[in-house]
Every structure is written in structure tokens, then in C-alpha cells.
Chain A
């Protein structure tokens, strides 16, 4: 079983892609005041796995069937999505060059209507509800489609997310797959310190009727294996423990990098660190 899985998702290739994506995100951060570098780094392995390992016909590029859907419910993580859509050819290089400028179409949150973007997010707590409606519509229409959604731990503090979690379980939407980027930081501080009652997260998700596992959210192999072993009778969630700013030592677990762009020196240092990791 596991052998078959590894044939389908090449973990080493995923690691190489994620290195390139981190470099590309840092590069974009030098063009404009890039927001949200660290939140993109924490969910990168999840988004890479979804696009390259789980989705069928991502971005609807081929005529090989109806595409699965991906919603970046934590809209502020969208740089991770943009760089993948660029590599897939859904977004053009010029789109990323024009990130956050009046001549471009990409902003710091995903916008419905842009190629590859299936819902406008940014305000937290919206993605899970929209995903629930999509997954339900697919079921009653008899369409074989899956809906993937990436949530932040911060947006699990929104009541609307729990309304959706509860409803998706009531409807047994096993075509709905959610990832939680459990990086322990909102914009302000460590959640585990300010909101200890939030933990453990996994138990709460399971208590609401979901099948859920908790793994290292940077370990694509572990996430992929968990995904393949799911029972397919309920909605499924991977709670991925992650590091905000993953890959760059001075960004990791430091709240300011939720918003900040590296200056030239920091940029060079960050690139150097990423290179060391890969070698």
C-alpha cells in the first residue's frame, strides 16, 4: 500500500519544489512590500501536496475531467498558491511581477475571477462554509469532485468555521478535505499562550464528527499517507503542526513576519539559509 502511495507522490520532488517556491516568494517580497511571507511558508508543504499530489486536473488545464477545487481559506497564505499556479501555467510570470500593483491582478488575498482562484477569501472564517456548499452541490449533482481547503489555526477561532465544520459532518461530506495550518500564531502572539482552551485541536474536530489526524504539516509524506488511509465516509481533516516562517531561522515563530518584508540583507541571509537546507 505505502509503496503505491510513494509512487504517486514523490516526496523528494515535493521538497525540491517547496525550496523553489520559498525562493520565489522571497523574490516577490523584494518587488513590493510583500505581506504575509511567513504565513505562506507555514502552509507551503500542504498546498504543494494538494496541487501536486491530491487534486485531479488542478487549475482545469486539461480536458481530462472536471477539476477538483482548492480554496485558500487562510487567504493571507496565498503567495504559496500564486507561486504554484505560476508553475502550473495558470498564472503568468507577469502576473507575479505585477503583484500588488495597479497594473496587475494579484493582491495580498485571493480574488475570485483571477485564473485558478475559486473564491475570494481574506476575511477569515469564510472558506470552510463556501467549501461545504461546493461539496454539497457536487454530491447532489452527482459530480465526482473533491474540495480541498486550507485553514489557519487563527480562523478556527471564528464561530463561522465551526458552523461549517458541524454542517459538513451532518451532511457526511466525504468529498471535503481540510488542512489546518497549526502554526500557533495569529497576527499578534502565540495562540497556545493566549488561548490554552483551544487545545487540543484534534479532539475538537473529531468530536464534531470529522475523521481527523494530526501530523507534522511540513511532512508531505506523512500527510499523504494519512490522506490515503482515510475512510471516505466523513469529511476528513489533517491538522498539520507547522512553523510560521518555516525555513528561515529569523522568521520562524516571530510574529512581525506575519506582515513584514525582508530588507536586502535579510533577503540574502534568508536565501542562504534556504540553500543550506537543500544541500
Chain B
């Protein structure tokens, strides 16, 4: 969905460009490369120049996207993201494919378990983590048109299901309800939203009324929206594919503390450890304790 949307946006807006570092340009990115060869650059396995070139192109008025696997757009060229893009506050979108443990057979070198925490620590850098193709489309269009500054656009992988058909409209910086209830509210973002919705369904079957909230914009965080949700539910749950510190869970607790709210908050995150495990994405998440059974057991306990 990112590639299709980027292609369509790039067809209309001549300032859009994409700089990749040896990622095979599948689908519409390949089509973009063929139709607009000047605005497609492959730096090869050279992530620092991928980010550096994006900065230079943005300084000349272009709207570049850096595009490769999350570990290689954010971690490998970290100081270039920080200095070239964030310190100079340039409107470059750093696309991280396969946030979290999406690349479940490739091992820890390809897992961006701490991407949201790392990105969130840099001033000026906004973070958007869509949970389904519709959110990816809305976020990509927003990134293509924005003048705010650098964005970390954290994606999963292709072929994810639509989850937000019934939701309120996507607005940058505002959380959105995928469903509205009264007893329990579940905050989540990114591809793990599937699991959040399964937890919601299971709780509903046991008689709870459940809200599910997509916190697609992790920075700037919709503190008011989170505080409002905490005030309107009896319990809150955060389900996220990120290490325990520096992600959404800690910030939701911080907001509850700042606003003196007594709503209990249960956090389900990746563990603070490298787990040497291979399998499906669900297998990897389960190894971190992120599966339906474990979550329901802990919520009932």
C-alpha cells in the first residue's frame, strides 16, 4: 500500500523522490523507478549516504523518502538521521519497513525492536506507525505533503489486513477509535493491532465493553486523547511491538500519573532481551509473551 500510494502521489507531485539502499524495489516502487528514473536513487548498501543525500535534496526543495528495512534506515545511519534530518529539521520521511520483529526468520540483526524508543528520543522527529493498509495510505499521503519536519514512518510488511474500515478519520497527531466501549480500552499501533482486536473480541465474549484505539502517531503523542480515554474506562491495556522502555506503554502510564488518574494500566510489550527464535511473526511475538492466551491470562489474573 505504501508503494502504490507513493507512486500515485509522486505522479502528481514532482518534488517527491525516493532514495533506497539496495532494497529490491517491489511493486509500485519499481514502477516509480521506471517512470521517474531521476527521482529514484539507489545508493547501494550505503545507508549513511542514503540519509545524507535525502538531506541535501530536501535543502534544495525536494520531498525525499529514505526507504529500506527499519534497522537500516534508523539504526545504521542513526547520527545522520539525527544531525542531517532532525537537527536541521528537514521534511524527509524515513521509512522503516519491518518495524518490531516483523522479519521473524531473519534473526535479531533484522529486528527493529527498539525503533520507536530510539526515534522518539530525537527532537523534531515525528513518528507514525500505521496499523493497516488504509492507515498506511493516509499516513503516506500526509508525509508526501507535509512541511513540519522529519518523520519516521514505521511500516510492517505487505499483505496486512484492513482493520480500520469503521474507524474515525485518520488525522496526524490524533488517536482514533477502531471501536468504542466503556469497560476496557486497548491502546495499540502498527501490525500488532490484529492481536489487540483479538483480545478485544475475547473480552467482549466474556461480557466486557471494549474500546480499541490506534495510536498511529507516537510523536507528537495525543496526550489529551489518551487522558480522555483513561478517564472514560475502568481499565486500560497497551499492546505494542516495542521494548518496554521508551515506547507507548511508559508514556500512557506517565500521562496517568501526571493527570492523577487511577485507571489500572496493563502493559504488553516486547521483552527487554534479544530472543534467538525463528518462525512466523506470531511465533516471535509469542516468544515475547505477546499472544492471545498469555494476554488474556494476565488480564484475568
Within 8 A of B (CB), among A77-112: 112
Contact check, A160 vs B80: say whether CB atoms are below 8 A apart: yes
B260 at the interface (CB under 8 A from A): no
Q: How far is the CA of A126 from the CA of B83 in the complex (A)?
A: 9
Type the 1/0 row for B162-191, where 1 means its CB is closer than 8 Å to any CB of A. 000000000000000000000000000000
Count, chain B residues at interface, CB 8 A: 28
Type the 1/0 row for A110-153, where 1 means its CB is closer than 8 Å to any CB of B. 00100000111001011011111111111011010000000000
Contact check, B61 vs A137: say whether CB atoms are below 8 A apart: yes
B38 at the interface (CB under 8 A from A): yes
Which residues of B are found within 8 Å of A167, using beta-carbon distances?
A: 43-44, 46, 49, 53
Contact check, A141 vs B60: say whether CB atoms are below 8 A apart: yes
- A115 nearest CB across to chain B (Å): 15
B138 at the interface (CB under 8 A from A): no
Which residues of B are found within 8 Å of A130, using beta-carbon distances?
A: 52-53, 55-56, 59, 84
- B55 nearest CB across to chain A (Å): 5
Contact check, B38 vs A140: say whether CB atoms are below 8 A apart: yes
Contact check, B87 vs A120: say whether CB atoms are below 8 A apart: yes
Q: How far is the CA of A133 from the CA of B64 in the complex (A)?
A: 10
Which residues of A are found within 8 Å of B17, using beta-carbon distances?
A: 140
- Size band of the interface chain A makes with B: 20 to 34
Contact check, B60 vs A164: say whether CB atoms are below 8 A apart: no
A156 at the interface (CB under 8 A from B): no
Among candidates B52, B62, B80, B88, residue contacting A137 with C-beta atoms closer than 8 Å = B62
- A73 nearest CB across to chain B (Å): 11
Q: How far is the CA of A164 from the CA of B59 in the complex (A)?
A: 17
Instruction: Say yes or no: A136-B48 contact (C-beta < 8 A), given A112-B88, A120-B87, A126-B83.
Output: no
- B81 nearest CB across to chain A (Å): 11
Contact check, A129 vs B59: say whether CB atoms are below 8 A apart: no
Which residues of A are found within 8 Å of B80, using beta-carbon distances?
A: 126, 129, 160
Contact check, A129 vs B84: say whether CB atoms are below 8 A apart: yes
- A244 nearest CB across to chain B (Å): 25
Contact check, A129 vs B53: say whether CB atoms are below 8 A apart: yes
Which residues of B are found within 8 Å of A164, using beta-carbon distances?
A: 48-49, 52-53
Contact check, B59 vs A159: say whether CB atoms are below 8 A apart: no
Within 8 A of B (CB), among A160-186: 160, 163-164, 166-167, 171
Q: How far is the CA of A171 from the CA of B41 in the complex (A)?
A: 9
Residue of A nearest to B56 (CB): A133
Contact check, A134 vs B60: say whether CB atoms are below 8 A apart: yes
Which residues of B are found within 8 Å of A118, using beta-carbon distances?
A: 59
Contact check, A119 vs B53: say whether CB atoms are below 8 A apart: no
Which residues of B are found within 8 Å of A141, using beta-carbon distances?
A: 60-62
Instruction: Say yes or no: A132-B56 contact (C-beta < 8 A), given A112-B88, A137-B61, A137-B62.
Output: yes
Among candidates A112, A120, A136, A159, residue contacting B53 with C-beta atoms closer than 8 Å = A136
Which residues of A are found within 8 Å of B59, using beta-carbon distances?
A: 118-119, 130, 133-134, 137
Contact check, B88 vs A131: say whether CB atoms are below 8 A apart: no
Within 8 A of B (CB), among A7-53: none
Which residues of A are found within 8 Å of B49, using beta-carbon distances?
A: 129, 132, 160, 163-164, 166-167
Contact check, B46 vs A166: say whether CB atoms are below 8 A apart: yes
B39 at the interface (CB under 8 A from A): yes
Among candidates A120, A140, A160, A171, residue contacting B48 with C-beta atoms closer than 8 Å = A160
Among candidates A128, A131, A140, A163, residue contacting B39 with C-beta atoms closer than 8 Å = A140
Contact check, A138 vs B53: say whether CB atoms are below 8 A apart: no
Residue of A nearest to B39 (CB): A140
Which residues of A are found within 8 Å of B53, using beta-carbon distances?
A: 129-130, 132-133, 136, 164, 167
Which residues of A are found within 8 Å of B87, using beta-carbon distances?
A: 112, 120
Contact check, A120 vs B88: say whether CB atoms are below 8 A apart: yes
Contact check, B51 vs A129: say whether CB atoms are below 8 A apart: yes
Which residues of A are found within 8 Å of B125, using beta-carbon distances?
A: none
- A177 nearest CB across to chain B (Å): 15
Residue of A nearest to B48 (CB): A160
Q: How far is the CA of A216 from the CA of B152 in the complex (A)?
A: 45
Contact check, A131 vs B83: say whether CB atoms are below 8 A apart: no
- A141 nearest CB across to chain B (Å): 7
Contact check, B60 vs A138: say whether CB atoms are below 8 A apart: yes
- A18 nearest CB across to chain B (Å): 29
Contact check, A120 vs B83: say whether CB atoms are below 8 A apart: yes
Instruction: Say yes or no: A136-B52 contact (C-beta < 8 A), given A119-B88, A120-B88, A129-B84.
Output: no
- B95 nearest CB across to chain A (Å): 17
Q: How far is the CA of A140 from the CA of B41 in the complex (A)?
A: 11
- B57 nearest CB across to chain A (Å): 4
Instruction: Say yes or no: A137-B83 contact (C-beta < 8 A), given A119-B88, A164-B52.
Output: no
B79 at the interface (CB under 8 A from A): yes
Which residues of B are found within 8 Å of A125, using beta-carbon distances?
A: 48
Q: List 24 A-B contacts (CB under 8 A).
A: A119-B55, A119-B59, A126-B80, A126-B83, A129-B49, A129-B51, A129-B52, A129-B56, A130-B52, A130-B56, A132-B49, A133-B55, A133-B56, A133-B59, A134-B57, A135-B56, A136-B57, A137-B57, A137-B62, A140-B38, A140-B39, A160-B80, A163-B43, A164-B48
